Amino acid sequence: MSEEQRANALLPTNEDTCGPYFPIYFGDDSLEDLTRIHSGVVAGASGQHIILRGRVLDRHGNLAHGVVMEFWQANAMGIYRTPGTEGHPDIDPWFSGYGRLRSHSGEYSFCTIMPGPAPGRAPNITVTLFSDGINRIVTQLFFADHPANDGDPLLLGLDPEDRDRLMARRDGTAAAGAEIYRFDIVMAGDNETPFFDDLES
């Protein structure tokens, strides 16, 4: 934005907490499992199926019940589906890269595919959290032991402890062949997950 555009910009509506009662009614199975479109339909995303599992914890180590989690990732070829990649030959028509769930307990499970590495990046998934008591907070998770992690510009800017806090760790294989990864988020306190500022950055 130029100075002039900034001066003329409309003042943004304040973000606000989603409160404790984000409607479960708004849940959508197709946003909680990005590997398939709908049962009974011969269509699904390309790539290695993975299940991301974990807990969202508060400052006291208690489960943060009622959190809404959103996920955003590249497809198996490392391409994000954005207006900028429209028509790209490696777009997967069966994969949007956007997922959402609400967790009653604070434990979550999200089915997706392993993102490919975008140019210059290690494979990652952006996670947005909404919950009672806070506005939107954002982080990015990575996959432990992936060789590209050593050169990822986001990870390189963090100290080793914080880098470690962004690693999803392999935890076996599900019956249907999906690889299971664990990733806990600590919203506040000693072992706090690093969160990123997408308003000021």
Partner 1 sequence: MTKLGRQLGIGPTDNTSDQRTPRKRLRLIPEAVRESFVPVVPARAVTRQYEWDMTRISPDLPRADGDAIEVSGTLRTADGKPVRGALLEIWNANHYGRYRHVEDHSGLKLDENFFGMGRVLTDYDGTYRFWTISPGAYLARPDIGRWRPKHIHLSISGGPVRLITQMYFPDEPNNATDPMAILMGDAFGRNMGKPYATPDIDVDQGYRFDIVAGGRNATFFE
Q: Which residues bind Fe ion (CB under 5 A)?
A: 19
Q: Whose structure tokens read 């299940």?
A: 51
Q: Which of residues 30-89 bind partner 1 (CB under 8 A)?
A: 58-60, 62, 64-66, 70, 72, 80-84
Q: Which of residues 180-199 bind partner 1 (CB under 8 A)?
A: 187-189, 192-199
1 binds, among Fe ion, partner 1, none (CB under 5 to 8 A by kind): partner 1
Contact of 118 with 78, CB cutoff 8 Å: yes
DSSP reduced 3-state for 108: strand
Quick one: which of 91, 154, 174, 180 contacts partner 1 (CB under 8 A)? 154
CA–CA dist 47, 158 (Å, integer): 29
138 binds, among Fe ion, partner 1, none (CB under 5 to 8 A by kind): partner 1
Element (H, E) at 111: strand 107-113
**Cα-based distances in Å from 197 to 70, 128, 138:** 16, 11, 7
Q: Is residue 28 part of the contact set for partner 1 (CB under 8 A)?
A: yes
137 binds, among Fe ion, partner 1, none (CB under 5 to 8 A by kind): partner 1
